[in-house]
Copies of this chain bind each other. A is one copy, B any other.
Amino acid sequence: MADPVRVGMVGMGTVGQGTVRVLSQNAAEITRRVGRELRLVHVCVRTPSRLENLGFAGRVSTDPWALVGDPELDVLVEVMGGTDLARELLLAAIAAGKHVVTANKALLAEHGEEIFAAAQRHGVMVAFEAAVAGAIPIIKAVREGLAGNRIHWVAGIINGTSNYILSQMFREGWSFAEALAKAQELGYAEADPSLDVDGGDAAHKITLMASIAFGIPVSFAHCHVEGIRQLQGVDVAFAAELGYRIKLLGVARRRSQGVELRVHPTLIPADHLLAHVEGPFNAILVDSDAAGQSLYYGRGAGGDPTASAIVADLVDVARTMTADPCHRVPHLAFQADALEPLPLLPISEIQCAYYLRIQAENRPGVLAQVATLLAEQGISIEALVQKEIPGAATVPIVLLLQQCREGDLDVALQRIQALRVVAEPILRLRVENLREEESFS
């Protein structure tokens, strides 16, 4: 049997501990697959008590630079998080000729160009299956499984915390604040939940997905991000009445003018498979020309699920570390010299359908005014819910609009908002009908 692959790991939080556990518990099964051992020989941990009960018998350092300088290591696994030290460590490990496996979506979304370029230069791999959607092998599916396709779009529920909160708002009728509190109690949300509920985490992930789907450089700065804090129970209920569910979606779509890259709460059809993805689960829907639609579902976070992805990356590294780099799967799915800097469309240029909730005075003619201002921008109404609330001074008018250019809607909304009969700021949500695009159209 070939020599073991010698692995080092920096970070011993939930994911690090999961990785130690998976490598040790499934060692026999993994070796049966790979034909050689994946041997964890050196870890860096600030709190050595975290290694208790994991049965780890290798070297332990408290200084991460000791691993970068360890000549024995073939691969460095980075699960410490953060973007400053992690960036320096990975660049140094790459320069030292080590392959890298990382779960760090923030790092790759923000510094991917620099890191992948360094890896390319030094002929090493940077594997990041664990950076998107935990246990779901979505990077592999898109980068390899759909390699024969031109990908039209990717839409994903890729933040489990937000999805849990939205599931509970729908099922239990809770407010955002109540659902967040419960998520924190269950450990699904951090004490500071901003990265999850404000969309930043999903934006990191969809940015990476856009690169591997379309062969574009990593473009996090151009991702439009909106979170779920402003959502109200009433909108969840109206959406349900119209046949929709609200999910935080990451969307990356290729249009003739450029690429849409965005994260926002989104109405999706209630009978779509994606609408049934509940709680901490993730799912990604991919629309491509030959395969049509395909969907990938699983646990989006947690120690063991994320470790599953890290170990799969280690297996890939073990198999191709001796190969000529030009025959490996490219980091961003397309050969580095074949990446195309397609324009990233500003949010005003996207094409989408919309949901509007307009709180207006309870008197005849209001809807006619609203419809006229929409029509002036060429925007059609698809469906309408108007509640009779006897005696109320203002009532909600809820509209579903057909697909239009967001900039045109902005103009109409400005004018509608200025109407004297409109009482409060208009709520506008995006709607994705997730219909399959025609193949080879």
Contact of A343 with B by CB under 8 A: no
A184 at the interface (CB under 8 A from B): no
A interface size (C-beta, 8 A) = 71
Complex Cα distance, B273 from A294, in Å, reads 14
**Residue of B at shortest CB range from A336?**
B35
Least Cβ distance of A45 to chain B in Å? 20
Partner of A140, one of B21, B30, B136, B141: B141
Set B35, B293, B310: member contacting A299, Cβ < 8 A: B293
> What CA separation (Å) do A340 and B21 show in the bound complex?
24
A304 → chain B, closest Cβ, in Å? 4
Q: How far is the CA of A305 from the CA of B293 in the complex (A)?
A: 9
Please name all residues of chain B whose beta carbon is closer than 8 Å to the beta carbon of A53 when the two chains form the complex. none
Q: Chain B's nearest CB lies how many Å from the CB of A251?
A: 19
A91 within 8 A of B: no
With A299-B293, A319-B327, A320-B323 known to touch, is A26 a contact of B145 (CB < 8 Å)?
no
Tell me which of A25, A141, A144, A145 has the highest count of chain B C-beta atoms within 10 A of its own C-beta.
A145
**Which of B137, B148, B316 interacts with A26 by CB under 8 Å?**
B148
Distance of A340 from chain B, by nearest CB (Å): 8
Contact bitstring A307-322, B, C-beta under 8 A = 1, else 0:
1111110111001101
Known: A299-B293, A305-B290, A308-B291. A324 touches B327 (CB 8 A): no
Pick from B30, B129, B146, B338: contact of A312, CB under 8 Å: B146
Complex Cα distance A311/B150, Å?
A: 12
Q: Which of these, B150, B309, B316, contacts A29 with CB under 8 Å?
A: B150
Question: Chain B residues near A17 (CB, 8 Å)?
Answer: none
Contacts of A150 in B (CB 8 A): 25-26, 29
Chain B residue with Cβ nearest A330: B33
**A25 / chain B contacts, CB cutoff of 8 Å:** 150, 289, 440
**Which residues in B have their C-beta under 8 angstroms from that of A277?**
273
Instruction: Write out the residue numbers on chain B whose beta carbons fall within 8 Å of the beta carbon of A305.
Output: 290-292
- Is A170 an interface position by the 8 A CB rule? no
Does A250 count as interface, using CB distance less than 8 angstroms? Answer: no
Chain B residues, CB < 8 A from A104: none
CB-based nearest B residue for A294: B298
Is A329 part of the binding interface, using a Cβ–Cβ cutoff of 8 Å? yes
Which of A302, A315, A333 has the most C-beta atoms of chain B within 10 angstroms of its own C-beta? A315
Other 13 A-B pairs with CB < 8 A, given A34-B335, A292-B302: A2-B326, A18-B290, A23-B148, A26-B148, A30-B147, A34-B147, A35-B330, A140-B140, A273-B277, A291-B308, A291-B309, A295-B296, A322-B327
Q: Can you give 17 A-B contacts (C-beta < 8 A)? A: A22-B149, A25-B440, A30-B148, A32-B215, A34-B335, A137-B146, A140-B141, A145-B309, A146-B312, A147-B315, A273-B277, A291-B309, A295-B295, A296-B297, A304-B439, A304-B440, A323-B327
Binding site for B on A (CB under 8 A): 2, 18, 21-23, 25-26, 29-35, 129, 135-137, 140-141, 144-150, 215, 273, 276-277, 288-299, 302, 304-305, 307-312, 314-316, 319-320, 322-324, 326-330, 333-335, 338, 439-440
